[in-house]
Amino acid sequence: MKDPAVINIHQAKTHLSSLLMEVTRGKEVIIAKAGTPIAKLVPLDHGTPPRKPGFLKGKLTLHANFNAPLPEALQQAFEDPA
């Protein structure tokens, strides 16, 4: 199969299982009707991997004044609508 493979609808229906196997290997398959591409089979994106809580433990530090109040001028800049 060429990459991406272009096949007609009849071939796609006849060879769907083998086409899906190709897609699981990372190949794209374009399905055409009368020579005009109408659809593309591509592998699913399974999103981001699950979170692993604590993977940065010991790699980050917070300054002692992390929770200290902001300087007055900076605090007003956040609060003033003007």
What are the Cα distances from residue 80, in Å, to 2, 61, 76?
Answer: 62, 31, 6
CATH number for position 19 = 3.40.1620
Establish if 51 belongs to a structural domain: no
What is the pLDDT at residue 82? 64
Number of domains in the chain: 1
pLDDT tier at 3, thresholds 50, 70, 90:
low
> Percent of the chain having pLDDT more than 70?
94
Q: Which domain holds residue 12?
A: 5-41
3-class SS string, the chain: CCCCEEEEHHHHHHCHHHHHHHHHCCCCEEEEECCEEEEEECCCCCCCCCCCCCCCCCCCCCCCCCCCCCCHHHHHHHHCCC
Establish if 79 belongs to a structural domain: no
**Residue with token string 């979170």:** 51
- The string of pLDDT tens digits covering residues 33-62 is 998 999 999 988 877 888 889 989 999 998
pLDDT tier at 21, thresholds 50, 70, 90:
very high
